[in-house]
Amino acid sequence: METTLADPQTGRRGRPTPPGVREIFTTVRAFYLDIAEWALEDPSWVPWAAPIPIRKSDTAGQSKHKRKVTAQMHQRVRERLPHLPTLVACAERHRNEQAAFLAATRAVPNGGEFDHAGRRYRRIAQKNTAPDAARYSAVVDQITVRVQLESSACLDRRGLVGVTGFPGVRGRAAASVV
């Protein structure tokens, strides 16, 4: 004889409701209710009106679930907020390193070699680039990277970290800033 364990979150026996099912049930139920309401107002909707296949009890607990998810997100923010100054300092240090690297690259003529952070680099000139565009390749690895792009990406990251430090700023709002 098989026994089913109780769900630790709800205390009910059987399988727990998978994530997202309540939202789908609520959407489907609302759609059927809308068609039924439209059928009352406009007779052309009557052929599409049908009994609702989802019981009201199937969508019970939706607002409780939303509050629980919101509370979990707020708790995550409270746990991570103390580490924000460390993240900002790290981003600022990286930005300063990239700015120094860009300055070192621009100080050397095309084809010239220079040392930075214990590695040897060679500035290279490429066709169809602006005269101040700084590209370099690592002499040892022969990897070519655009320094200006790396530097501007670094500034974007620093801006994102700085913006997300303000209370109440969400990811989408921060992404629209950068």
Does some domain include residue 167? yes
Q: Are residues 40 and 91 in the same domain?
A: no
Which residue type is seen at 7?
Answer: D
Does some domain include residue 77? no
Does some domain include residue 101? yes
pLDDT score of 157: 56
pLDDT score of 173: 46
Does some domain include residue 170? yes
Q: What is the pTM of this model?
A: 0.46
d(CA 111, CA 134): 11
pLDDT score of 21: 82
d(CA 88, CA 95): 10
pLDDT score of 127: 63
**Structure tokens, 99:** 């700015």
Range of the domain at 94: 82-177
d(CA 164, CA 175): 9
Q: Are residues 42 and 114 in the same domain?
A: no
Q: Are residues 54 and 106 in the same domain?
A: no
pLDDT score of 94: 84
d(CA 84, CA 69): 22
One pLDDT digit (tens) per residue for the chain, 178 residues = 344 445 555 556 666 667 778 888 889 999 999 999 999 999 999 999 999 998 888 888 888 888 998 999 999 999 988 988 898 888 888 888 888 888 887 788 877 888 888 888 887 766 665 655 555 555 656 666 666 555 555 555 555 555 455 555 555 444 444 4
DSSP calls for 3-21: -PPBPTTT--BSPPPPTTH
Does some domain include residue 2? no
pLDDT score of 1: 37
Q: Are residues 40 and 97 in the same domain?
A: no
- Residue 145 bridge partners (DSSP): 136
Q: Are residues 53 and 88 in the same domain?
A: no
Q: Are residues 53 and 87 in the same domain?
A: no
d(CA 102, CA 13): 63
d(CA 148, CA 95): 12
Look at residues 82, 111, 116 and name the one whose alpha carbon lies nearest to residue 96. Answer: 116
pLDDT score of 39: 94
d(CA 140, CA 127): 23
Tell me how many domains the chain contains. Answer: 2
pLDDT score of 148: 58
Q: Are residues 48 and 87 in the same domain?
A: no
